[in-house]
Chains A and B, each alone.
Chain A
Amino acid sequence: MKNLGAFPIVSFVSFVSFVSIQAQQPQPPEPQFDPAAVERGQQLLASQCGFCHGSTGRGAASGPDLTRSELVQNDDNGTQLGAFLAVGRPDRGMPPFDLSRAQVSDLATFLHRAIYFASNRRLYKILDILVGDKQAGEAYFNGAGRCGTCHSPAGNLRGVGAKYDPVTLQGRLLLPRGRPPNPGGPPPPPLYTEPTAMKVSVTTPSGETASGALVRLTDFEVTLYEASSGRMRSWLRNGDVPKVVVTDPLQAHVDQLTKWTDADMHNMTAYLASLK
């Protein structure tokens, strides 16, 4: 297949940086739910509705999930819900409920909050990911993973388990490109100033060769950063002129992406997390 083998560059960037860019966009304020009303609504729901709809309203054997109810979703501060509850659904065995306007409002507040939390993926938190076997991870480190080629627990991985939270650590294990995310901190330095940046050498037809950290590469141009001079240098490209050779200090990590089993990865994460 054409164009695949000729140019062994693999480009990477952390998606984390994308997420942080997203977060900078102006957004409307988050909705506020009165905690006292939520609490009252939850108790009311458990005592009045829980028998059929479950104590959280998410449904039970004899009643549907209220957070998925169109009537509840369309409700405006208990108005529609209150009208519905006053009548009930006798044909399906649901009696009318005699609730005050304030009680219905509390119930609605609880349900609307439940919908918001169940549907907003941003509000979920990653759980405890340290389920692996650290001994098996250590064995993989020294064996099949061949991690010792570049790393040692007493050397460049010293204290790594204390330096990063487990999720960040797992991400660094897979591909430690650039700096880890630092929400609220100063913007990270450019990727090309990091030791993990890809390297490039450019050889012109006259035989001059320049090398440095790869800044930009397209079919039509290449830009490198010379750390020694602090200079950016760019060349236009026309096919294979000038000659461009890219090397990636993280190539072993890149190659490993297609080899990991999830079990090996979980074990390695547990092992690295133990290196406090």
Chain B
Amino acid sequence: MIMGALFSRIRTFLPLALGPHPQRELTLTPRGGFACPPRGVAAGALPLALGPHRLHPNAAAALGAPAKRELTLTPRGGFACPPRAVAAGAFALAPGPFSLRSLCERRRREQAPMPRGGPRGMAAGAALLLIASGFTAAASDGLDPAALLKPLADSWPSYSGDYTGRRYSALTQINQSNVKNLTLVWAARLTGGPGAGGFGPGSPAAAARTVIGGEGSGDIAVAGATTVKGAVLMVNGMLYVTAPDNVWALDAHDGHELWHYFWKTKGGTHIGNRGAAIWGTYLYFVTPDDYFVSLDTKTGHERWHKEAAPFSQQYFMTSAPMTIGNHIIVGTGNDLDSPGYLMSFDPETGEQQWRFYTVPMNAGDPGLETWKSLDAARHGGGHPWLPGVYDPETHLYIFGTGNPTPAYTSKPRGEGMDNLFTCAIVALNVDTGKMEWYYQTSPHDTHDWDSAQTPVLVDGDFRGSGPRKMVLTASRNGYYFTLDRRTGEHLVTSKFSETVNWAKGLNAKGQPVREPAKDHHIAGALVSAANGGATNWPPPAYSPDTQLLYVPTSETYAMYYLSETDPRGAMGLGGKDEIGVGTMGSYISAIDYKTGNTVWRHRFRTVGTTRGAPGLLTTAGKLLFGGDVSGNFVAFDPANGNVLWHTQIGQVTNAPETYMVDGRQHVLIAAGDMLYTFALY
């Protein structure tokens, strides 16, 4: 076998061999033993057949006659609004309450300039000026980046819905008084791969809609790659869904597929994709073999793709890009010893605008004194696995960085040295990519517990000191932090996992201090948490109504065995073997940002699973949505964690989202390769 072929196989093989995974994975085990039949509103009607189905018996009645709305596709596959360029014959709308006019009027509303005043008026106005300079005709026909500055309500235009990362929607149509009547609107199964498509296997029409791109040979098929583990964007009545190597556009009204894009991969870790970004009519996503790809949102046709990281060095990309003004920002991923970085791309051309390395790369770089050597720093990891948040007032992009590498055998990084800027919250000027401040949440991490969790921006009172602008994060290491987001000043640290035992206490900066005996040991160290951490990529949510941060939490134990005694250590994640002991439970933890105290926890009662809880959504309807660890999708009371509604749909694999379709609030959730939307009728 020639070496070239050999090593492309290694790249394909290596990551698949890795076990429970950091930040890029939610551990899933098949439900064991006996399972109760699904019940709830959709009982017996769950769409196990391929393709989307309209299921709710009342849906048709609510829409008026005829029962099934039709929205004819334009020749290019999308649907477009005629006012700007009326294409006669391209639209055939059935009568009924749904109207093209309402759709287009809504679109125009979304394109309207930001309203002045209001809580964020000043900041939004300033940011709008910034954005205007980079805004072109392409954006005027799709998602105006200025729309991303709005509080989260009618659409879901970015990874967290809006720039705050709160996942708090202003929508109230679904609320505590009526959530018990929530019912299924539609469900759709996603089919990936080169010949995939809409309404059934083997359908020529469906296959024709798949646009194929990529640099690979097309002979690498990765099983299970269609699981949705990220955000679904909802813009102008369209849903944009991603999984590794796949992007789908669906009609938000009934879930039918409008186009599908498949990327022929060269390999790499296909562990998940956190979603797409949109700027105007352009969509962006990244691939496991390290390409930054742009598509036309209407047709799925590729505009271009750019190499974003060297595949030969085992980078693999999973993050969701973020649109901020005329920047598209995305971070790297890699488990091998390599530097992490964040890149900003030009939305039109894909040219790189700036790159920020999360570790020192050159003599004289800040933070170099926290590494044993420049060589160690340059191989030091710190990958920004997840999208960050954005503060338009200060132009700061704030995000979390990953663990240092080698992850476990840490001596080559310098015994006890901090290893900046790994495992930290970092704030960059979004226009220059220059760091304004940082706060490290795990100095010298030794457990592969990244701090890449998407942080949350909150404006509020802090201990009577008046309004304060803060950033909150609950880290995979089991500790919670409140920081001042203008300066990075530390305000609060607390332990939100009761079992984590890797730290001796806190230092003067509020950072947990590592207990080296709990790194790993030849004879085994009993450590909490297991590799998955106290929390992981599933996003938290914050409600300004309760002033609580809701965090998916797992309490686990594992034996950590040192298996590499060479003082030069291993590479990447090598040198340590881990055997799970068990889980003490999975929870939603509700944390008070002023004190760090956990005000309540909802325990997911379960037997025989090690799953962590999926991501969360809060709404002004005084609701907290999330999946449990047993296949239920649940609405909670955010004040106390009481259950208000649930339905069994299979294990939830992303965070819920909400938006409006034709005046009706929808709640969207993914379970594996299935999407479900719920509403009131």
The interface of chain A, by Cβ under 8 A from chain B, is: 1-4, 7, 9-19, 21-22, 25-32, 58-59, 64-65, 67-68, 70, 73-74, 76-78, 105, 108-109, 112, 115-116, 118-132, 167, 170-171, 174-175, 177, 190-192, 198, 214-221, 223, 225, 232, 234, 236, 254, 257-258, 260, 262, 265-266, 269
Query: In the bound complex, do residue A128 and residue B522 qualify as a contact, i.e. CB atoms below 8 Å apart?
Result: yes
Nearest opposing residue in chain A for B501, CB measure = A258
Query: In the bound complex, do residue B579 and residue A3 qualify as a contact, i.e. CB atoms below 8 Å apart?
Result: no
Residue in contact with A15 in the complex, picked from B558, B571, B584, B640, CB distance below 8 Å: B558
- Which chain B positions have C-beta within 8 A of A124? 563-564, 570, 574-577
Q: How far is the CA of A78 from the CA of B7 in the complex (A)?
A: 12
Query: In the bound complex, do residue B568 and residue A65 qualify as a contact, i.e. CB atoms below 8 Å apart?
Result: yes
Judge if B129 is at the interface, Cβ distance under 8 Å. Answer: no
- Which chain B positions have C-beta within 8 A of A65? 375, 568
Q: How far is the CA of A26 from the CA of B17 in the complex (A)?
A: 10
Query: In the bound complex, do residue B605 and residue A219 qualify as a contact, i.e. CB atoms below 8 Å apart?
Result: yes
- Which chain B positions have C-beta within 8 A of A59? 568
Q: How far is the CA of A131 from the CA of B565 in the complex (A)?
A: 15
Judge if B385 is at the interface, Cβ distance under 8 Å. Answer: no
- Which chain A positions have C-beta within 8 A of B577? 121, 124-126
- Which chain B positions have C-beta within 8 A of A73? 312-314
Given contacts A12-B582, A121-B577, A122-B19, 15 further A-B contacts (CB under 8 A): A1-B601, A3-B602, A7-B603, A11-B609, A12-B583, A27-B17, A74-B310, A112-B3, A112-B10, A119-B572, A127-B522, A128-B522, A129-B523, A214-B607, A220-B646
Q: How far is the CA of A219 from the CA of B632 in the complex (A)?
A: 9
Can you identify 24 A-B contacts, CB atoms within 8 angstroms?
Answer: A12-B583, A18-B29, A21-B29, A21-B30, A25-B16, A31-B9, A67-B571, A68-B379, A70-B310, A119-B14, A121-B570, A122-B17, A125-B563, A127-B563, A129-B561, A170-B559, A171-B559, A198-B607, A214-B607, A215-B34, A217-B606, A218-B605, A218-B606, A254-B584
Query: In the bound complex, do residue A167 and residue B579 qualify as a contact, i.e. CB atoms below 8 Å apart?
Result: yes
Q: A18-B20, A68-B337, A118-B571 are in contact. Are A9 and B313 (CB under 8 A)?
A: no
Stretch of B177-185, B256-264, B524-532 with 4 or more beta carbons under 8 angstroms from chain A: B524-532
Residue in contact with A4 in the complex, picked from B314, B518, B601, B643, CB distance below 8 Å: B601
Q: How far is the CA of A18 from the CA of B561 in the complex (A)?
A: 18
Query: In the bound complex, do residue A11 and residue B523 qualify as a contact, i.e. CB atoms below 8 Å apart?
Result: no
The interface of chain B, by Cβ under 8 A from chain A, is: 1-4, 6-7, 9-10, 12-14, 16-20, 27, 29-30, 32-36, 39, 223-224, 310, 312-314, 335-337, 375, 379, 499, 517-518, 521-526, 530, 557-559, 561-566, 568, 570-577, 579-585, 598-610, 628, 630, 632, 634, 640-641, 643, 646, 648
Query: In the bound complex, do residue B34 and residue A77 qualify as a contact, i.e. CB atoms below 8 Å apart?
Result: no
Q: How far is the CA of A9 from the CA of B578 in the complex (A)?
A: 25
Q: How far is the CA of A234 from the CA of B602 in the complex (A)?
A: 23
Query: In the bound complex, do residue B3 and residue A76 qualify as a contact, i.e. CB atoms below 8 Å apart?
Result: yes
- Which chain B positions have C-beta within 8 A of A232? 34
Query: In the bound complex, do residue A28 and residue B13 qualify as a contact, i.e. CB atoms below 8 Å apart?
Result: yes
Query: In the bound complex, do residue B13 and residue A30 qualify as a contact, i.e. CB atoms below 8 Å apart?
Result: yes
Smallest CB separation, B394 vs chain A (Å): 36
- Which chain B positions have C-beta within 8 A of A121? 18-19, 570, 572-577
Query: In the bound complex, do residue B3 and residue A78 qualify as a contact, i.e. CB atoms below 8 Å apart?
Result: yes
Query: In the bound complex, do residue B580 and residue A14 qualify as a contact, i.e. CB atoms below 8 Å apart?
Result: yes
Query: In the bound complex, do residue B13 and residue A266 qualify as a contact, i.e. CB atoms below 8 Å apart?
Result: no
Smallest CB separation, B610 vs chain A (Å): 6
Query: In the bound complex, do residue A217 and residue B607 qualify as a contact, i.e. CB atoms below 8 Å apart?
Result: yes
Query: In the bound complex, do residue A175 and residue B607 qualify as a contact, i.e. CB atoms below 8 Å apart?
Result: no
Query: In the bound complex, do residue A218 and residue B559 qualify as a contact, i.e. CB atoms below 8 Å apart?
Result: no
Query: In the bound complex, do residue A2 and residue B640 qualify as a contact, i.e. CB atoms below 8 Å apart?
Result: yes
Smallest CB separation, B264 vs chain A (Å): 16
Query: In the bound complex, do residue B581 and residue A15 qualify as a contact, i.e. CB atoms below 8 Å apart?
Result: yes
Q: How far is the CA of A218 from the CA of B604 in the complex (A)?
A: 7
- Which chain A positions have C-beta within 8 A of B530? 15
Query: In the bound complex, do residue B522 and residue A131 qualify as a contact, i.e. CB atoms below 8 Å apart?
Result: yes
- Which chain B positions have C-beta within 8 A of A192? 33
Q: A1-B601, A115-B571 are in contact. Are A190 and B32 (CB under 8 A)?
A: yes
Query: In the bound complex, do residue B566 and residue A58 qualify as a contact, i.e. CB atoms below 8 Å apart?
Result: yes
Q: A31-B9, A170-B524, A262-B526 are in contact. Are A16 and B572 (CB under 8 A)?
A: no
Residue in contact with B581 in the complex, picked from A1, A28, A31, A174, CB distance below 8 Å: A174
Q: How far is the CA of A74 from the CA of B517 in the complex (A)?
A: 37
Residue in contact with B33 in the complex, picked from A64, A116, A191, CB distance below 8 Å: A191
Q: How far is the CA of A127 from the CA of B16 in the complex (A)?
A: 24
Smallest CB separation, B657 vs chain A (Å): 23
Residue in contact with A177 in the complex, picked from B27, B566, B575, B582, CB distance below 8 Å: B582
- Which chain B positions have C-beta within 8 A of A225? 34
Query: In the bound complex, do residue B36 and residue A11 qualify as a contact, i.e. CB atoms below 8 Å apart?
Result: no
Query: In the bound complex, do residue B561 and residue A126 qualify as a contact, i.e. CB atoms below 8 Å apart?
Result: yes
Query: In the bound complex, do residue A109 and residue B3 qualify as a contact, i.e. CB atoms below 8 Å apart?
Result: yes
Smallest CB separation, A148 vs chain B (Å): 22
Query: In the bound complex, do residue A132 and residue B523 qualify as a contact, i.e. CB atoms below 8 Å apart?
Result: yes
Q: A74-B312, A118-B571, A216-B35 are in contact. Are A15 and B641 (CB under 8 A)?
A: no
- Which chain A positions have C-beta within 8 A of B39? 236
- Which chain B positions have C-beta within 8 A of A77? 2-4
Residue in contact with A174 in the complex, picked from B314, B526, B634, B641, CB distance below 8 Å: B526
Nearest opposing residue in chain A for B586, CB measure = A11
Query: In the bound complex, do residue A223 and residue B36 qualify as a contact, i.e. CB atoms below 8 Å apart?
Result: yes
Smallest CB separation, B530 vs chain A (Å): 7
Nearest opposing residue in chain B for A190, CB measure = B33
Query: In the bound complex, do residue A120 and residue B312 qualify as a contact, i.e. CB atoms below 8 Å apart?
Result: no
Q: A25-B224, A109-B3, A129-B523 are in contact. Are A218 and B568 (CB under 8 A)?
A: no
Smallest CB separation, B138 vs chain A (Å): 36
Query: In the bound complex, do residue A15 and residue B20 qualify as a contact, i.e. CB atoms below 8 Å apart?
Result: yes
Query: In the bound complex, do residue A76 and residue B4 qualify as a contact, i.e. CB atoms below 8 Å apart?
Result: yes
Query: In the bound complex, do residue A221 and residue B36 qualify as a contact, i.e. CB atoms below 8 Å apart?
Result: yes
- Which chain A positions have C-beta within 8 A of B604? 218-219
- Which chain A positions have C-beta within 8 A of B526? 174, 257, 260, 262, 265
Q: How far is the CA of A122 from the CA of B605 in the complex (A)?
A: 32
Q: How far is the CA of A149 from the CA of B572 in the complex (A)?
A: 44
Smallest CB separation, B556 vs chain A (Å): 8
Residue in contact with B14 in the complex, picked from A15, A18, A120, CB distance below 8 Å: A120
- Which chain A positions have C-beta within 8 A of B564? 124
Nearest opposing residue in chain A for B609, CB measure = A13
Q: How far is the CA of A130 from the CA of B522 in the complex (A)?
A: 9
Q: A121-B575, A124-B577 are in contact. Are A262 and B525 (CB under 8 A)?
A: yes
Q: A4-B601, A21-B29, A215-B607 are in contact. Are A112 and B7 (CB under 8 A)?
A: yes
Residue in contact with B600 in the complex, picked from A3, A22, A119, CB distance below 8 Å: A3
Smallest CB separation, A197 vs chain B (Å): 9
Q: How far is the CA of A119 from the CA of B559 in the complex (A)?
A: 20
- Which chain B positions have C-beta within 8 A of A70? 310, 313
Smallest CB separation, B439 vs chain A (Å): 27
Nearest opposing residue in chain B for A267, CB measure = B523
- Which chain A positions have C-beta within 8 A of B29? 13, 17-18, 21
Query: In the bound complex, do residue B9 and residue A15 qualify as a contact, i.e. CB atoms below 8 Å apart?
Result: no
Q: How far is the CA of A135 from the CA of B568 in the complex (A)?
A: 35
- Which chain A positions have C-beta within 8 A of B518? 262
Q: How far is the CA of A70 from the CA of B19 in the complex (A)?
A: 25
Q: A31-B9, A219-B634 are in contact. Are A118 and B583 (CB under 8 A)?
A: no
Smallest CB separation, A155 vs chain B (Å): 25
Q: How far is the CA of A64 from the CA of B375 in the complex (A)?
A: 8
Nearest opposing residue in chain A for B17, CB measure = A122
- Which chain B positions have C-beta within 8 A of A118? 570-572, 574
Smallest CB separation, B362 vs chain A (Å): 15
A-B residue pairs, 4 tightest by C-beta: A15-B580, A77-B3, A12-B582, A124-B563
Interface centre among B34, B35, B314, B375 (most CB of A within 10 A): B34
Query: In the bound complex, do residue A31 and residue B605 qualify as a contact, i.e. CB atoms below 8 Å apart?
Result: no
- Which chain A positions have C-beta within 8 A of B572? 118-119, 121
Q: How far is the CA of A21 from the CA of B580 in the complex (A)?
A: 14
- Which chain B positions have C-beta within 8 A of A18? 19-20, 27, 29, 580, 610
